[in-house]
Amino acid sequence: MKLNRRLFLRVAGMAGAAGGGLLAGGGPSAQAAQLHRTSQGDVEFNGMLIDTTKCIGCRACEAACNEANKLPTPAASFSSANVFETTRDTTTGAFTVVNRFPNEKKPDEPIFVRKQCMHCDQPACASACLCKAMEKTKEAAVIYHKDRCMGCRYCMIACPFDIPKFEYDSAAPFVWKCDFCNERQQKGELPACSEVCPTGATLFGKKRDLLEIARTRIYKAPDKYVHRIYGEHEAGGTGWLYLMGAPEEKLGLRTNLGTTPYPELTSGFLYGVPLVFVLWPSLLFGLNYLIKDNKVSEERKILRGEQD
């Protein structure tokens, strides 16, 4: 009996811990209710404004990123223009890449578009990660904790921009992506790519200010830009904003992401978990007792019938 109770308590305790934990997990998602927010707590999110009309495809940002993050030397040098022949994707060794897209308005001036982590306001990868290896800092960066990661790659499934990259050829692999030069930001420095950009195509600042700058540029030169700021609302808003010289589908940017912050997609389900945890056991225990009593009374009826 003693063992019985102890074991029962242990199981119940564990189940309670899991249930309670998930209940507590509702917290961050509950904050998610405020849409289009640009800051967390008192700290306003940092952001980056990419003006595709200013980028000249010099790839200085790629080189700076490579140096700042101590990434392996790529096969083709950073001054080579041959890389623009194909559309490239970021890799475990290149956190940002510049791609070239044709410009229909001015065929001699192709449009260059950078690709890297968008640092979503409410990142899907961080909400997907079961051991908090992906984390959104209060300043903006979505960073990766190597020591926590178990390599399940759910962040890659979840990320709407397909940014986290996995080392498939390693026995002890990590996930790699741009971390917005978080350490440099902490020291008050600019992200490496922004610091090195010669044309000001990558502008670092507070997201709120950047949105204002972006809108001003559109108003001042309405013919030059598409009248939308990519990243303002995509997937609930991202830290990186794009001013586009051509519609986003012509610049290799995903168009069907919606404006719902991704953590909200699963928060409904997670809210249901504590409910089920309370309702199911009580209903099942009740049902179990109900049917047991029913059977007993049936037996009694039979017995009484025999006595009569």
The token pair at 259 is 């404006």
Please return the burial class of 135, using the count of CB atoms within 10 Å of its CB with bins 0-12, 13-18 and 19+.
middle
Tell me the two tokens of residue 56: 């000249």
Q: Would you count residue 6 as binding other proteins (CB under 8 A)?
A: no
Measured from the CB atom, the residue of 21 and 102 that comes closer to other proteins is: 21
Footprint on residues 132-161 left by other proteins (CB under 8 A): 132-133, 145, 148-154, 156-158, 160
Contact yes or no for 135/143 (Cβ under 8 A): yes
Contact between 276 and other proteins per CB under 8 A:
yes
Which listed residue (256, 303, 306, 308) binds other proteins by CB under 8 A? Answer: 256
Rounded to whole angstroms, the Cα distance separating 133 from 146 reads 7
| Count of residues interacting with other proteins (CB under 8 A) | 74
Query: CB of 137: closest distance to other proteins in angstroms?
Result: 15
Q: Please give the residues from 102 up to 131 whose contact with other proteins meets the rule CB under 8 A.
A: 124, 126-131
| Closest approach of other proteins to the CB of residue 164, in Å | 9
Q: Is 273 in the site for other proteins (CB under 8 A)?
A: yes
Q: How far is the CB of 152 from other proteins (least distance, A)?
A: 6
Binding of other proteins at residue 269 (CB under 8 A)? yes
Q: Which of residues 17-36 bind other proteins (CB under 8 A)?
A: 18, 21-22, 24-25, 27-29
**Does residue 291 bind other proteins (CB under 8 A)?**
yes
Q: CB of residue 18 vs other proteins: minimum separation in angstroms?
A: 5
Report if residue 265 touches other proteins, rule: CB under 8 A.
yes
Span near other proteins by CB under 8 A; candidates 15-23, 110-118, 182-190, 194-202: 15-23
Question: In angstroms, rounded to a whole number, what is the distance separating the alpha carbons of residues 164 and 178?
Answer: 8
Long-range CB contact pairs, 39-45, < 8 A, 24+: 39/207, 39/208, 40/136, 40/138, 41/138, 43/138, 43/139, 44/206, 44/207, 44/208, 45/121, 45/139, 45/140, 45/206, 45/207, 45/239
Backbone angles phi, psi at 2, to 5 degrees: -65, -45
The yes or no reply on residue 238 touching other proteins (CB under 8 A) is no
Q: Which residues contact 64 (CB under 8 A, 6 or more apart)?
A: 192, 193, 195, 196
Residues in 68-107 that interact with other proteins by CB under 8 A: 89, 91
